[in-house]
Amino acid sequence: MMLRVNNEGVKNMMEGMMNKVVDGMKKMMEEAKKGGEKEKDKEDKDEKLGKGRIKVKDFEGKRKLNNKEDWEEAQWEMMVTLKVENGEFYKKLKEVENKSEKEVDEMIEAWEIEDKKGEVVVQRAAEWYGILCGWAKGDAQRLVKGTKEGSGIKAWWNLHKNYNPRTAAGTLINILRAVRPTAVKDIRETSKEVQEWEIKWKEAGEHVEGISDTGRVAILMGIVPRDVQEAVAQQMGEEDKYYQVKEHMLGIVNMRLSRQEFRTMDVGIAEKGNGVGDVGAVVKKRELLRMRRMGAYS
């Protein structure tokens, strides 16, 4: 017995199955599209700040920031690396460098509002803050930690304000370092301290150009003990220039150091014996030291 097939029913059944397949495919495509859009949104957010995360390992081995003298080279190394790793965050740091504190706070607040989910500015600033804490040492680290934890943008601004010689604060610090030299505790350090102070004087530039030679001499005297100051003042001529007084002061210091060496040498020889030969040795060594001071020996 043969079954008769209702062609109309088969047709309807096939169409129903096809519609279900098509609907399923449409649904899959829509979900895939939504997933792609979400992924693109995430990529766009990362795109806003260059290559994304700021990694500690990218800054390992960079020159540490210990004090103002390190600033130029140390910050240059850091910023060159940051520009490569995250160009947009680098731009934000450059934007705030020469702003007032009020302007910086307003800029950071605006960026954080724009970055509603904290996936861009807030996260990157926190990463940068952590890197700065490891990079800065001593007083520099205290400047970083003196800002709100995680605020890498504000911490960078604080370093720039205090260490960059072209900022108002940097200029003031340069002037103070020029007119208030460090007093030596040991006169053996005098020559070295004078050299370092003269570098600070040059860094202050036009801000100390108006100070007379007499004024500069008075500032120079702050490096040495009071008894040396008095000895220099007693022998100083009215027309003496700064460089003449400086050489005279260093000469007095060297004479005192020589006397200390003679005393030390005499004591050492006396401990070994006190015969005529010992006295001759003392005289001979004194003469040798004197000639060395005069440059007869290298």
Q: What is the pLDDT of residues 101-110, one digit of tens each?
A: 999 999 999 9
The rounded percent of the chain whose pLDDT value lies above 90 is 34
Cα–Cα distance, 253 to 48 (Å, whole number): 62
Element (H, E) at 61: none
Residue 136 has pLDDT above 60, yes or no: yes
φ and ψ at residue 65, rounded to 5 degrees: -100, 105
136 SS3 class: strand
What is the pLDDT at residue 2?
A: 45
The dihedral over CA atoms of 236, 242, 245, 251, expressed in degrees to the nearest 10, equals 180
Q: Helix axis angle, 152-163 relative to 168-179, nearest 10°?
A: 40
Cα–Cα distance, 265 to 277 (Å, whole number): 15
| Contact call for residues 129 and 149 (beta carbons, < 8 A) | yes
Unique residue bearing structure tokens 């370093």: 159
| Contact call for residues 54 and 128 (beta carbons, < 8 A) | yes
Residue 249 has pLDDT above 90, yes or no: yes
Reported confidence tier of residue 9, pLDDT bands at 50, 70, 90: low
Residue 18 has pLDDT above 60, yes or no: yes
Find the mean pLDDT for residues 236-251: 89
Unique residue bearing structure tokens 């005289």: 283
Reported confidence tier of residue 26, pLDDT bands at 50, 70, 90: confident
The pair of structure tokens assigned to 187 is 């006169």
What one-letter code names the amino acid at 31?
A: E
**Where is pLDDT greater, at 120 or 37?**
120
The pair of structure tokens assigned to 280 is 């001759």
Reported confidence tier of residue 218, pLDDT bands at 50, 70, 90: very high
What DSSP letter does each residue of 144-203 carry, written as one string? HHTSPTT-HHHHHHHHHHHH-TTSHHHHHHHHHHHHSPPPPSSGGGHHHHHHHHHHHHHH
What is the pLDDT at residue 3?
A: 46
58-105: per-residue pLDDT in tens?
A: 998 888 998 888 888 899 999 999 998 888 899 999 999 888 899 999
- pTM for the model stands at 0.45
Cα–Cα distance, 167 to 165 (Å, whole number): 6
Cα–Cα distance, 263 to 147 (Å, whole number): 54
What is the pLDDT at residue 44?
A: 57
